Amino acid sequence: MAEGNWSVVRVEKISAEGAQKTERHNERKNESYANLNVDTEQIARNVHFKDTGGLTYNEYFQRLIDEGKISTRGQKAGATIFNELVIDVNTRYFEEHGGYEYAKQFYEEAYRFGCEIYGEENIVSAVMHADEINKAVSEELGKPVYHYHLHIVAIPTVRKEILWSKRCKDEALRGTVKEVINQVSHSKKWKNTVPLLDENGQQVISKYGKPMFRKSYSVLQDKLFAHMTEAGFTGFERGVLGSTAENLSSLDYQIQKDKERLADIQERIEAEQVRYEPAHEVHKTMAEIEGMGQKTLTGKIAVSKDDYQQLTALAKEGITSRSEIQDLKSSVSYYQRQYFNASSAVERLQERYDRLKEKCQPFLQALEHFPKLVEVFVEKVKELFSIKEAQERKEREDRAAARKEQSKHRRGRNDWER
């Protein structure tokens, strides 16, 4: 095995708004790139194992919702709706095993791995980039050498059973499965479930007495390495055991994880605050209802006048609430469609902005490095525009005077003829 060949897979969280930037980069929709290693003449060599069929990432997501294949039930605005898996092995590995053709075979198998993780229909896009030159290796080997890696954009879903509530009229249905949905949820998709074991094979217990689990991203690294080696791709090692971001510097990684932890804690706090008050009120109401009435000798329930009036009011409120809930569901669906339509419009505007920025790039660079010269240039342009405007204004005035003179001449001729 060649020294230093290793595999890496990392997971990025993407919201509907963030999908626009990811899409422009992955699908090479920009005219220029922050990554200076992108060779635009080589973009045609990029390989799609799956594309959106002409849709944007957000449009593809909305289509799955409309078809009832995924659900965003319980999700907040701005939540993670996409994952991006970036699967990578260092440049030399592919150069040693056959280059471009070998990379296509390798990442086609890696795409199958992604399908196992997310399900093929939840894969939005899978593209192997073959257009980023590795300058260091190219200089060393004396020829252009490109770095191959795979971007998989997918929708993280978990299977969730929705049960009939205790208020269901049919007692036989209560607590049974009402429907099964594929719920979009990054946190549930990547919940830590694999026990962390010590040297004796026993699960590690934290100082607070709770069982500890391996980080799900670390488990993902293991799964990728096992899948690829079982498929016959060898000559590389798994990234450092326990690491979830081998290609990041230690400091960058710590900053990134701290941000993720804070965002996750904030999200959970907000979710609990939203749920607590309504749930608390419902709990009190249910307890009051259960305490109403007393059994008589005949087995019937007798309630007081006040309890009867309260039950009647609650029943009316429940009937009214059903209609309101249905209206709210319709509103949510409408505004969700509006949101994604707006997102698509923003994407198109962003593309126009990128093209405009590309055209202005020489001027912006000149402004950064030679501000005085640019200032002189701008003043000169203003002066030229002023001269041009004065000329155009004089031409308009001359034309107006000529028309006035012609009109005066015609009136004089008509008077002479009369």
* CB of 95 closer than 8 Å to CB of 141: yes
Tell me, yes or no, whether 311 lies in a domain: yes
Q: How many domains does the chain have?
A: 4
**Residue 289 confidence class, pLDDT cut points 50, 70, 90:** low
Question: Do 78 and 157 share a domain, yes or no?
Answer: yes
Question: Do 42 and 106 share a domain, yes or no?
Answer: yes
**Residue 34 confidence class, pLDDT cut points 50, 70, 90:** low
Tell me, yes or no, whether 51 lies in a domain: yes
Is 194 in a helix, a strand, or coil? Answer: coil
Q: Which helix (H) or strand (E) holds 151?
A: strand 146-154
Tell me, yes or no, whether 114 lies in a domain: yes
Round to whole Å and give the CA distance between 327 and 343: 24
Round to whole Å and give the CA distance between 130 and 337: 35
**Residue 244 confidence class, pLDDT cut points 50, 70, 90:** very low
Round to whole Å and give the CA distance between 389 and 206: 77
Question: Do 125 and 162 share a domain, yes or no?
Answer: yes
* CB of 221 closer than 8 Å to CB of 239: yes
Q: Please report the pLDDT score of residue 161 as a whole number.
A: 83
Is pTM beyond 0.85 here? Answer: no
Question: Do 231 and 102 share a domain, yes or no?
Answer: yes
Q: Please report the pLDDT score of residue 230 as a whole number.
A: 96
Q: Please report the pLDDT score of residue 242 as a whole number.
A: 41
* CB of 61 closer than 8 Å to CB of 16: yes
Is pLDDT at 102 greater than 90 in this prediction?
yes
CATH code at position 53? 3.30.930.30
Question: Do 144 and 86 share a domain, yes or no?
Answer: yes
Is pLDDT at 345 greater than 70 in this prediction?
no
Tell me, yes or no, whether 364 lies in a domain: no
Question: Do 161 and 310 share a domain, yes or no?
Answer: no
Question: Do 109 and 170 share a domain, yes or no?
Answer: yes
| Secondary structure (DSSP) of 256-314 | HHHHHHHHHHHHHHHHHHHHHHHHHHHHHHHHHHHT--EE-TTS-EE--HHHHHHHHHH
Which of 189, 8, 17 has the alpha carbon at shortest distance from 88?
Answer: 8
Q: Which helix (H) or strand (E) holds 417?
A: helix 371-417
Is 199 in a helix, a strand, or coil? Answer: coil
**Residue 257 confidence class, pLDDT cut points 50, 70, 90:** very low
Question: Do 194 and 294 share a domain, yes or no?
Answer: no
CA–CA distance from 395 to each of 165, 399, 403, 406, 408 (Å)? Answer: 81, 6, 12, 16, 20
| Secondary structure (DSSP) of 13-53 | EE-TTHHHHHHHHHTT--SS-SSTTB-GGGGGG-EEEE--T
| Domain termination site, one of 180, 211, 245 | 245
Tell me, yes or no, whether 236 lies in a domain: yes
Instruction: Tell me the residue range of the domain where 279 lies.
Output: 248-289
Is pLDDT at 228 greater than 90 in this prediction?
yes
Is pLDDT at 284 greater than 90 in this prediction?
no
Tell me, yes or no, whether 341 lies in a domain: no
* CB of 303 closer than 8 Å to CB of 292: yes
| Domain termination site, one of 191, 223, 245 | 245
Q: Residue 30 CA to chain centroid, in angstroms?
A: 18
Tell me, yes or no, whether 298 lies in a domain: yes
Phi and psi torsions of 127, nearest 5°? -135, 130
Per-residue pLDDT reduced to its tens digit, 365-411: 787 778 788 788 888 888 888 898 888 888 988 888 888 888 777 77
* CB of 65 closer than 8 Å to CB of 336: yes
Round to whole Å and give the CA distance between 14 and 155: 10
Per-residue pLDDT reduced to its tens digit, 166-178: 888 888 888 888 8
Question: Do 55 and 151 share a domain, yes or no?
Answer: yes
Q: Residue 164 carries which side chain, given as an amino acid letter? A: W
Round to whole Å and give the CA distance between 18 and 30: 15
Question: Do 215 and 89 share a domain, yes or no?
Answer: yes
Q: Please report the pLDDT score of residue 87 as a whole number.
A: 95
Tell me, yes or no, whether 223 lies in a domain: yes
Burial class of residue 277 (count of CB atoms within 10 Å of its CB; 0-12, 13-18, 19+) = exposed
Least confident of 88-92, 147-151, 248-252, 311-315: 248-252
State percent of the chain over pLDDT 90.
36
Q: Please report the pLDDT score of residue 360 as a whole number.
A: 78
Angle in degrees, 0-180, between the axes of helices 371-417 and 305-369, rounded to the nearest 10:
100
Task: Dihedral sign for Cα 139, 140, 146, 147, please.
Answer: negative
Question: Do 260 and 241 share a domain, yes or no?
Answer: no
Question: Do 235 and 258 share a domain, yes or no?
Answer: no
